[in-house]
Amino acid sequence: MALFTGAACAIVTPFKADGLVDYEQFAKNIEFQIEGKTDAIVVCGSTGEASTLTMEEHMEVIKYCVEKVNKRVPVIAGTGSNCTKTAIELTKKAEEVGVDAVLIVAPYYNKPTQKGLYQHFKAIADSVKIPVILYNIPGRTGVNVQPQTIVKLCREVPNIIGTKEATGDLSQVARLIALGGDDVDVYCGDDNQTLPFLSLGAKGVISVLSNIAPEETHQMCQDFFDGNVKKATETQIKAIALIDALFSETNPIPIKKAMNLMGNWAGPMRPPLTDMEEEHAKVLEDEMRKFGLKF
């Protein structure tokens, strides 16, 4: 059985004006997700600006999220690193604080071979007992975890259960699902491809859009699972322009701007990311209104 089906929110990490983590607002944003019927929460991923959190902050944010969610939905923690030893350390600590699973991004910058990727993921998974979801995002990491490698990991390492795929390549996703069958739980990593992924057999989406539209994102998936493909498709198409605006600059710049507009304070970016350019922010605001978001 899949860890979750439907839409998981890749939740932002809100910061105060002084750059410190805003835990009071983080609690409010978590409740907004729960009330919006989100199916899971992914904390400290790319959208959560994990790359600019200190090790201490990283663990504090994960622990806080686990405590606030309190088992109402699964909490999946991003604990990847381009250093295998560091990723193992983070993953073991996340298991200790009670996460339901971890999301492990492919090692970035190092550009390991498929053999190196296999050994990296296996070493991390072998260090814990909780489920592990791989994260394949070549645009950020510089490496593409091939379908054969993912299937091999899912079949040979008991607690590696699937992958979040953000390659943008639907043909690769189709090959992965054809090769892996029921042994690989596939999750969409690009909001603009949620319905195509589901049509190929994916279990759901790990979503940026869900930060501002949790109920709509959840319901789109649920409609598909319930057989109402027409309604699900209508929602996907309706959201495309908004999703484009949410990725008009590097994630999570636009989604934090959108949340700030809605009053779900996300605060500023941590350097080297900067605030959204005005011309892009205007388009984002217009698309949010067209989608029906209130602010």
Catalytic residues: 135, 164
Q: What are phi and psi of 293, to 5 degrees?
A: -75, 140
d(CA 200, CA 171): 10
Contact 24, 64 (CB under 8 A): no
For residue 66, which of 75, 56, 57 has the smallest C-alpha distance?
75
Return the SS3 of 116.
Answer: helix
List beta partners, residue 238.
none
- Tokens 């999750």 label which residue? 187
- Asked if 19 and 215 touch (Cβ cutoff 8 Å), the reply is no
Q: What are phi and psi of 23, to 5 degrees?
A: -70, -30
